[in-house]
Structure 1
Amino acid sequence: MSSTPEYNNDNIKPEPILSQQDHEDGPVPPPNVDDAALVRKIDMRVLPMLFAIYLVAFLDRVNISNALTMSMPTDLDLYGDRANIALLIFYIPYILFEIPSNIVMKKLKPHIWLSGCIIAFGIVMLGQAFVQSYGGLIATRFFLGLAECGIFPGSFYLISFWYKRAEAQKRFTMYWSSVIFAGAFGGLLASGIAKMDGMRGLENWRWIFLLEGIASILIGIFALFFCADFPQQASWLTEDEKAAVIAKTRNFEDDEVSVTKSDLIASSKDLKLYLAGFMYFTIVVPIYAFSYFAPTIIKALGYGTIQTQLHSVPPFAAALGLCVVVAYFSDRLNIRLPFILLGQILIIIGVAIMLTTHGKSHFSAEYLGICFITMGAFSSGAVIICWVLMNMQGHKERSIGSGWVIGVGNAGGIVAVFCFTKDDAPLYHRGYWILMGITLAGVVLTLLYALVIVRDRRRQVRDEGKVDKEKVLSL
């Protein structure tokens, strides 16, 4: 039986005629499907498992930032820039294999690929708990990057097929918030683990990797049974429900379509992809800079190890609150651009505060600057991903596009790991000026991407002669 959804006269046709209601709300689903109930069903089945997967994945990726405030640098002889290089090595396989990973996920099905990735990630994390040298740390960081390369772009790629544009931002933000929870929870967890130093002969930083590696493996096993696939493959939906999802998201493309070399070449000529990738790059730099170095920066304010971990939580909590508010209004107004610019402005203000107050005993002002940077970076990042992916259509565009944009964007992690180095401590002026320059460049790229969207949308509407919100590019 073909995996392409079948339609008959009693259901809906592949190319529905757009009425006035269709112009405003998208194609009408089959009459016996309650759309609100269907969306709730999808929310409960798709999002929780993906949230858990990336929560442990991001937690495992950045937990080294907490370990670096303990005895890890001394135990592994991490002098000079060695700690920064260990952070850097993660991104080499992580960036290179994101597009191939999406293609493999499409062939193997998401529940198999994503669960395999997180189990492999957990196994490597267990190995990192027992490294005895700088070389061992470098090796485990490389394989962590290889194991995780498919999780983030693959999850966004999958989510984009389940929701129409007006529903997407809240769901993308719900998934994205796993990153923020990881940042906040990582600090709380590390403050507790810091007290385990010497337990069973292991340093406290080793317990971080050990416990989180075990959690990753357990989540990966659950994901094998509970992670959702694409709508056409969902055995937990009725045929009418599948038809309703496909109709409202306008994803009529054959489920078994394959990405070819010509598709890759065609994508390489799309200006929007380049602008989107570098736009995301400019927001990833502050995201990773503060995910990795917030504990280090906070410790420079004069706090002890446990107080440092606890004080790293509120900035991420504030970021989560702003992300929720932005997601609500972005979907309600069906627009993304102003909310991205808002986040970028917060980063600029936060960096300006740090440049003018850091090292002058203005603890409250400095802490506010850290909160502003974290809030702006995480809120903008969630909207950028949704904006870019929901302006793509079908498996080919989204598998290539999500891998490319997130791959190029995550190259920002390479810059981020060298923003705050020991030779620039404790004021870190060089790092803050890097963040300022990159964020200003991000504002320019965001506006350029919006101009290209306006140009292509006008051309699209002119050529098709009709308005379909789920197909026409949006701001």
Structure 2
Amino acid sequence: MRFFSEKAQGSPTSSLDHAQDHGYPHTGEYDDDLHVECPPHTTERKLVRKIDFHVIPCLCIMYLLAFLDRVNIANANVYGLAKQLHLTGNEYNVALVIFFVPYVLFEIPSNLLLKRFKPHVWLSLNMFLFGFTTAMQGVVKNYSGLLAVRFFLGFFETGMFPGAFYLIGMWYRRSEAQKRYSFFFSSTTLAGAFGGLLAAAIGKMDGIAGYAGWRWIFILEGCLTVAFSFVFFFALPDFPEQSKWLSAEEKSYVAARLRADQGRSAVERQITLKDVGRVFKDYKVFAAGFMYFGLIVPAYGYAYFAPGIIKGYGYSAIQTQLHSVPPWAAAFGFAMLTATLSDLTQKRAPFAIGCICIAIAGFAILISVHDNRPLEYAALFLVAMGAYSAMPIIVCWFGMNLAGHHRRSVGTAWQVGFGNIGGIIAVWAFLAKDAPKYITGYSICLAFTVLSIIACIVYGVGCWAANRRRDRTPVDVGLTEYEKTELGDMNPEYRYLL
């Protein structure tokens, strides 16, 4: 039987041939399942578009709102949050840091609960709770109240990012994934751009109902998230095997094309503590954590402090919000360009390292130039474009190299959770006493981007070595079908994408 290959633009191609031609795993035990025809009245291209329509937009809007609710404190601070709450010294930084404590700790448990309760239930519930918490930031009266709501905001947002990446990875082949990952991740850049525009408009509400403009930023954006959470309870996708908008034939076909690419998903099995432990027996998992960790520092450093940095260039509050938009917009366009090229070439490492080098160039300018505002502002473009283009490539590279629910759910959550420890460092890298040059902050960000490149090299070499070692090993090593499924990407027949 045949299915239509996207790359061949409708020409018939064997699913197994396609998998082997691209270096993907071919596990013989699934041959019967793989011989599935594309359902009548459709082609693979049309089916992928259908999946795109149901999966990507909802997750993008969800994460746009999550990231907006997370970083809008930077926009609120421009309008006087710290002054009205009488924050002194480093109290503003502490309020940023406390968000990351639960956010880091509960990534893996959240992904396990996501699988147990289904994505549309778990993600929409979390969305309602962090939207409500965001709105409550708008009515806090003092520093302790701000700390409390920031802690619970981190707790309720913990499942958004790794959960969405985990879910996307269970819908697409590796040759299709990068554009989808980058488009989803670029919700952060859209949130940054949208947040600046929205904050500029909401700031004009200063004094309405007795609330300052910064309070309205939290209240309105939080209420918007709550409203979407009710819609997304019905709209958010579940895993392919659980979807209600695919016919039985389409489900079988989607499952077959994914098995040809990644092996069996093992969606039916429960994830145990032993599964969690087995994931960490592979050193490449730790390298992947440091890849992301190294980029979180500059990414959050930019997200939380760019409005303050831009304001230091002499702009008014509203001009600052408007000037914060173009770098985010440029980052979105560049991320999609690099993602498209990465999918076309089926390479991840060169694009990840290349984007990180662009961010390094931006920080080098910011460290050395302090009397040329246009050049300094242009350097912010390089930082945003480099960091926010490399991050989705790194997460996609690692996540899509993991096979099976039991390994991908844990590995993805680990990478994101460990990486977000960098958010704590980013918060303390940019202190008020270092303004307006922020030499210390820029130097720390520069160092961590270099760390990310080193981790990328270690992970890439590890994947290359594993592929080479497996190429030299006989295909039939006597494993049962159950053992191959349990091994996931550690299966000797599996090949990593580089």
Scaled to the shorter chain, the TM-score interval is over 0.9
Query: Which residue number in structure 2 is paired with residue 226 of structure 1?
Result: 235
Query: Which residue number in structure 1 is paired with residue 335 of structure 2?
Result: 323
Query: Which residue number in structure 1 is paired with residue 31 of structure 2?
Result: none
Structure 2 counterpart SS, 1:460: helix
Query: Which residue number in structure 2 is paired with residue 474 of structure 1?
Result: 497
- The one-letter code of the counterpart of 2:304 is Y
Q: Does 1:161 align with 2:170?
A: yes
Query: Which residue number in structure 1 is paired with residue 321 of structure 2?
Result: 309
Give the C-alpha shift of residue 278 in structure 1.
0.9
Query: Which residue number in structure 2 is paired with residue 91 of structure 1?
Result: 100
Decide whether the 8 Å contact of 2:363 with 2:446 is kept in 1. Answer: yes
Decide whether the 8 Å contact of 1:29 with 1:35 is kept in 2. Answer: no
Counterpart Cα distance in 2 of 1:275 and 1:330: 21
Structure 1 counterpart SS, 2:123: helix
Counterpart Cα distance in 2 of 1:471 and 1:287: 33
Q: Does 1:103 align with 2:112?
A: yes
Decide whether the 8 Å contact of 1:29 with 1:243 is kept in 2. Answer: no
Instruction: From the superposition, tell whether residues 315 and 236 of structure 1 become closer, same or farther in structure 2 (CA, over 3 Å).
Output: same
Structure 1 counterpart SS, 2:465: helix
- The one-letter code of the counterpart of 1:312 is S
- The one-letter code of the counterpart of 1:387 is W
What are the equivalent positions in structure 2 for 1:287-298 lying under 5 Å apart? 287-298=299-310
Higher mean alpha-carbon deviation, 82-91 vs 249-258, is at: 249-258
Query: Which residue number in structure 1 is paired with residue 21 of structure 2?
Result: 24
- The one-letter code of the counterpart of 1:106 is K
Deviations 1:217-250 (A, max 9, x none): 1111111001000011011112221122222222
What are the equivalent positions in structure 2 for 1:26-45 lying under 5 Å apart? 30-33=36-39, 34-45=43-54
Q: Does 1:277 align with 2:300?
A: no
Decide whether the 8 Å contact of 1:164 with 1:470 is kept in 2. Answer: no
- The one-letter code of the counterpart of 2:398 is V
Query: Which residue number in structure 2 is paired with residue 200 of structure 1?
Result: 209
Query: Which residue number in structure 2 is paired with residue 252 of structure 1?
Result: 264
Q: Alignment partner for residue 122 of structure 1, among 126, 131, 141?
A: 131
- The one-letter code of the counterpart of 1:265 is G
Counterpart Cα distance in 1 of 2:493 and 2:50: 21
Give the C-alpha shift of residue 31 in structure 1.
2.1
- Give the TM-score, by structure 2 length: 0.89
- The one-letter code of the counterpart of 2:348 is R
Decide whether the 8 Å contact of 1:183 with 1:316 is kept in 2. Answer: yes
Counterpart Cα distance in 1 of 2:327 and 2:148: 32
Structure 2 counterpart SS, 1:294: helix
- The one-letter code of the counterpart of 1:287 is A
Q: How many residues align?
A: 460
Give the C-alpha shift of residue 121 in structure 1.
0.5
- Give the TM-score, by structure 1 length: 0.93
Unaligned runs of 5+ in 2: 4-13, 27-33, 477-488
Q: Alignment partner for residue 452 of structure 1, among 462, 471, 481?
A: 462
Counterpart Cα distance in 1 of 2:464 and 2:220: 49
Give the C-alpha shift of residue 148 in structure 1.
0.4
Q: Does 1:181 align with 2:190?
A: yes
Query: Which residue number in structure 2 is paired with residue 426 of structure 1?
Result: 436
Counterpart Cα distance in 2 of 1:29 and 1:118: 40
Instruction: From the superposition, tell whether residues 456 and 124 of structure 1 become closer, same or farther in structure 2 (CA, over 3 Å).
Output: same
Deviations 1:362-410 (A, max 9, x none): 0111011111011000000010011010110011111110110000111
- The one-letter code of the counterpart of 1:291 is A
What are the equivalent positions in structure 2 for 1:58-73 lying under 5 Å apart? 58-73=67-82
Query: Which residue number in structure 2 is paired with residue 441 of structure 1?
Result: 451
Unaligned runs of 5+ in 1: 1-8, 12-16
Counterpart Cα distance in 2 of 1:415 and 1:37: 45
Counterpart Cα distance in 1 of 2:474 and 2:182: 31
- The one-letter code of the counterpart of 1:305 is A
Instruction: From the superposition, tell whether residues 132 and 170 of structure 1 become closer, same or farther in structure 2 (CA, over 3 Å).
Output: same
Counterpart Cα distance in 1 of 2:75 and 2:35: 49
The RMSD of aligned alpha carbons is 2.1
Instruction: From the superposition, tell whether residues 341 and 10 of structure 1 become closer, same or farther in structure 2 (CA, over 3 Å).
Output: closer
Give the C-alpha shift of residue 18 in structure 1.
7.5
Q: Alignment partner for residue 349 of structure 1, among 361, 371, 379?
A: 361
Higher mean alpha-carbon deviation, 237-246 vs 63-72, is at: 237-246
Deviations 1:143-168 (A, max 9, x none): 00000000100000000010001100
Q: Alignment partner for residue 413 of structure 2, among 403, 411, 415?
A: 403
Structure 2 counterpart SS, 1:417: helix
